[in-house]
Structure 1
Amino acid sequence: MSQKVANIIKKVTRLGYQAIEMVIFKGVSIFYKNKEKYKDIWLICERGTEAKDNGYWMFKYIRENHPKINVHYIIDKQYEKDYKKVRDLSNIIEYNSFEHKIAFILSKKVISTHIGFVEPWSYKLYKMILDRKDKKKYIFLQHGVIYNDLSDILNKKASRIDKFITSTKDEYNSIANTQNYGFFNDEVVQTGLARFDNLHKNIPKKQILLMPTWRKDITNPSYVKSKIVDDNVFLESDYYKRFKSLLNNKELESILKKYEYKLVFYPHYEIQQYIKYFDVNNQNIIIANKDKYDVQQLLMDSKLLITDYSSVFFDFAYMKKPIIHYCFDELKHYKSGYLDFKKDGFGQVISSEEKLVSLIEKYAKEDFKIEPIYEKRIEDSFTVRDDKNCQRIFEVIKKA
């Protein structure tokens, strides 16, 4: 039997099981639908293990400003640090639990930063079997600003998203009323991200943040349960060697010591599994574990961001702070989109370690001031820039 046929059989079996289970839960939900907890319920989720992104900030805003809304946050209690953040706000449902599945069946609105977590089953299958009249509304908060072409996975037909949250005018124009994505203008809204509200409170420390994105071909993705990529593939990659070299660069060590700065290396969520391999002997460099450090706090605390292609640079640009793109390779797992870093980006693009270190010192000498050309591009891109992002998103959810 070929691998292709085996994968098809596996997929059909999985969807068949999901179909049976969701129908069973639909029947069981009849006994819960009149309970106060499930009346007009909204569900918010990130990855099911986190409360640090747009989902958390949206949930916090609704609980504090609209307490009469019956909104619940879905998270696995084993992830204690993030679980404690939402516990004080109450209305928590255990991720992937019996209660999660009942709540999902009975929910009016589902609000998520990622596809495939707030929904216990294939959402497309759910709509085909149990919600053909489209009564349930799916609001996609996102977990970043999209600049690549993600239409293969986020198109309307595949995702069944009802409201698509965007931030910049270029991002909105790349998704709304385009053939690739398939959304109409009123299904895409430019509100800004929920987490942007908190960025206005940033008071930077003497800190530099190194935060690159991941590479699909050298990692074992967290969403794949079996081991498909050996660690040696990662260790032999140019990606690993480049960043390990940078972290152990002697000139960088001298610069951090001279200007009394810390550099925090925060690997992408999918790279965190390899964090043990990034050994450094420099007291001014911190290797940040995702379970101990909050991404938004790191962004707010830092004066300079060094990344490659991670869309987190939009958050940093929103705060009008300098960015360096360290791009020594090409990002292969996404199709290129509307943004050309060199022509339209918010920071310099560097490919060599030597030039990168030199530019870091240049910024340190100038107290990390952003160049006017990049500040102008930021202002032109973020036509909506205030602390009312959550408020605008709430109105979108309410009307959906």
Structure 2
Amino acid sequence: MKRLIRKFMRGKKAQKIYRIIFKIVGLLPKKHNLVIFESFHGKQYSDSPRAIYEYMKKHHPEARLIWSVDRRYTRLFEELNLPFVQRFTPKWFWLMPRAQYWVNNVRLPNWLPKPKKTQYIQTWHGTPLKRLGTDIEEVRMPGTTTEKYKRNFVNEAKNWDYLVSPNAYSTEIFKRAFDYKGHMIESGYPRNDFLINHTKNDVDTIKKQLNIPADKKVILYAPTWRDDEYYRVGQYKFDIKLDLHKLKSTIGDDYVILLRMHYLIAENIELSSFEGFAYDVSNHLDIRELYVISDMLITDYSSVFFDYANLRRPMIFYVYDLEKYKDQLRGFYFNLEENAPGPLTRTTDEVLKEIQEYAEQDEPAEHFEQFYKKFCYLEDGRSAEQVVNTFYKK
């Protein structure tokens, strides 16, 4: 019975009813200073919405701050003692359309109409390497077509009153890829304030929480998803190509490795044979905490390396499928082979070689300073303040 109810609630008939309810409630007077936050479809307390929430909680006690949460993730918000409302419940339908502000980092459901007097602050969730929105030539994701995907993206962007950009490079791409004509807040990403402002005590506390040995160096492996490898809509496959056995036998005395899968990846990683060396931190509260405890990042085409660069620490790019990803799946906005702020590798042996070289020199790659000046120049630890001062009116 529960499955049948959920199936109906996700269907087109239910969405038409939702839309009508939302429009009617949205005509009622706004709840002044009510801010509704959502991160990654209500699944996380993280990213720039979290940074904005924490800033507002500290500096604007008059504001009413509430999180919109997926029903499967409410326990997390209960444990953190955060104010929240479960998505698509009667209370949510009463609060969401009447909120003065929405702060979100991904797209909202297509059926959801934004009330005229609601201010929608879209923080987005990364500096773009991969092509976005209307810039994607052919969409290979499940449950959509290229035309439909682009149309939905543009329609969503019309609802945004403010769009946060981390740098001038992103501003140019966002305007074109989202066909965005609203107010751009070019401020750096609020989520990166923690990278600038964190302390040694923060690092020690996080390592202790994760039971990471204090005498080991930490490598963070954070790959992205592949558009054409999936189980169903919103759930993507991922096969770890790194040889963890070889990594453990070669560097296990000195390092541990943290595996952080993208939130769209559905795999459960089996690491029982790598106890004490490899840790699955895919469900850790916020990746920003993993950044600051890591001595090195391994990634591929994920935007995480733009953020991690703020720490000025070594990065390795494990891009075993570079040609396919670049030429068939997405395409890039800049030449990764020429401009990556770290070496490109295609095998586990090449990754190990670069790890060992970094251990000897412990400094960023050749192109790092040029990269840093182009993408990180706005990150001063006060981005959340700038964003809030722009959109929030008491």
CA contact (8 A) 1:81 1:291 kept: no
The 3-state SS of whatever aligns with 1:67 is: coil
Output one character per residue of 1:126-169: Cα deviation in whole Å (capped at 9) or x when no partner.
Answer: 25xxx4xx432221111222222212358543432222111122
Residue number in structure 2 paired with 1:308: 300
Residue number in structure 1 paired with 2:14: 17
Output one character per residue of 1:253-312: Cα deviation in whole Å (capped at 9) or x when no partner.
Answer: 22231xx221112222233x3224x44633442231433464221111001100111111
Residue number in structure 2 paired with 1:104: 96
1: CA distance between counterparts of 2:164 and 2:268? 32
Residue number in structure 2 paired with 1:209: 220
Aligned counterparts, 1:1-400, within 5 A = 14-27=11-24, 33=29, 38-46=31-39, 47-76=41-70, 79=73, 82-84=76-78, 87=81, 90-116=82-108, 122-123=111-112, 126-127=113-114, 131=115, 134-152=116-134, 153=150, 155-160=153-158, 161-176=160-175, 178=176, 180-184=177-181, 187-200=183-196, 201=198, 203=200, 206-221=217-232, 223=234, 240=239, 242-243=241-242, 246-249=243-246, 252-257=248-253, 260-271=254-265, 273-276=266-269, 278-279=270-271, 281-292=273-284, 294-329=286-321, 330-331=324-325, 335-366=330-361, 368-371=362-365, 373-398=367-392
Output one character per residue of 1:27-67: Cα deviation in whole Å (capped at 9) or x when no partner.
Answer: 4677x858xxx334221111212102221221111111111
2: CA distance between counterparts of 1:210 and 1:135? 43
Residue number in structure 2 paired with 1:7: none
CA contact (8 A) 2:306 2:375 kept: no
Report the alpha carbon displacement of residue 334 of structure 1 after superposing the two structures with TM: 5.5
CA contact (8 A) 1:165 1:189 kept: yes
Per mean C-alpha deviation after superposition, the further-off stretch among 210-219 and 309-318 is: 210-219
- What is the aligned length? 351
1: CA distance between counterparts of 2:91 and 2:305? 37
CA contact (8 A) 1:63 1:71 kept: yes
1: CA distance between counterparts of 2:57 and 2:252? 42
CA contact (8 A) 1:307 1:325 kept: yes
CA contact (8 A) 2:77 2:83 kept: no
CA contact (8 A) 1:344 1:377 kept: yes
Report the alpha carbon displacement of residue 318 of structure 1 after superposing the two structures with TM: 1.5
Residue number in structure 2 paired with 1:4: none
Q: Percent identity, aligned pairs only?
A: 19
Per mean C-alpha deviation after superposition, the further-off stretch among 190-199 and 324-333 is: 324-333
2: CA distance between counterparts of 1:370 and 1:304? 10
- In the superposition, relative to structure 1, how do residues 163 and 291 fare at CA in structure 2: closer, same or farther (>3 Å)? same
What is the TM-score of this pair, normalised by structure 2? 0.78
CA contact (8 A) 2:297 2:316 kept: yes
- In the superposition, relative to structure 1, how do residues 25 and 252 fare at CA in structure 2: closer, same or farther (>3 Å)? closer
Output one character per residue of 1:177-231: Cα deviation in whole Å (capped at 9) or x when no partner.
Answer: x3x43223x632211111111012165672111111112322325636xxxx8xx
The 3-state SS of whatever aligns with 1:142 is: coil
Structure 1, unmatched stretches of 5+, are: 1-9
CA contact (8 A) 2:234 2:264 kept: no
CA contact (8 A) 1:197 1:386 kept: yes
CA contact (8 A) 1:247 1:285 kept: no
Query: Which amino acid counterpart does residue 157 of structure 1 have in structure 2?
Result: N
What is the TM-score of this pair, normalised by structure 1? 0.77
- In the superposition, relative to structure 1, how do residues 282 and 348 fare at CA in structure 2: closer, same or farther (>3 Å)? same
1: CA distance between counterparts of 2:64 and 2:85? 12
Query: Which amino acid counterpart does residue 267 of structure 2 have in structure 1?
Result: Y
Report the alpha carbon displacement of residue 21 of structure 1 after superposing the two structures with TM: 2.9
1: CA distance between counterparts of 2:232 and 2:126? 19
The 3-state SS of whatever aligns with 2:190 is: coil
Structure 2, unmatched stretches of 5+, are: 1-6, 135-149, 204-213
2: CA distance between counterparts of 1:91 and 1:300? 27
1: CA distance between counterparts of 2:193 and 2:277? 29
Report the alpha carbon displacement of residue 363 of structure 1 after superposing the two structures with TM: 1.1
1: CA distance between counterparts of 2:282 and 2:78? 16
Report the alpha carbon displacement of residue 114 of structure 1 after superposing the two structures with TM: 1.3
Output one character per residue of 1:220-247: Cα deviation in whole Å (capped at 9) or x when no partner.
Answer: 25636xxxx8xxxx5xxxx62623xx21
1: CA distance between counterparts of 2:79 and 2:319? 35
- In the superposition, relative to structure 1, how do residues 78 and 380 fare at CA in structure 2: closer, same or farther (>3 Å)? closer
The 3-state SS of whatever aligns with 2:317 is: strand
Query: Which amino acid counterpart does residue 248 of structure 1 have in structure 2?
Result: H
- In the superposition, relative to structure 1, how do residues 291 and 252 fare at CA in structure 2: closer, same or farther (>3 Å)? closer
Residue number in structure 2 paired with 1:5: none
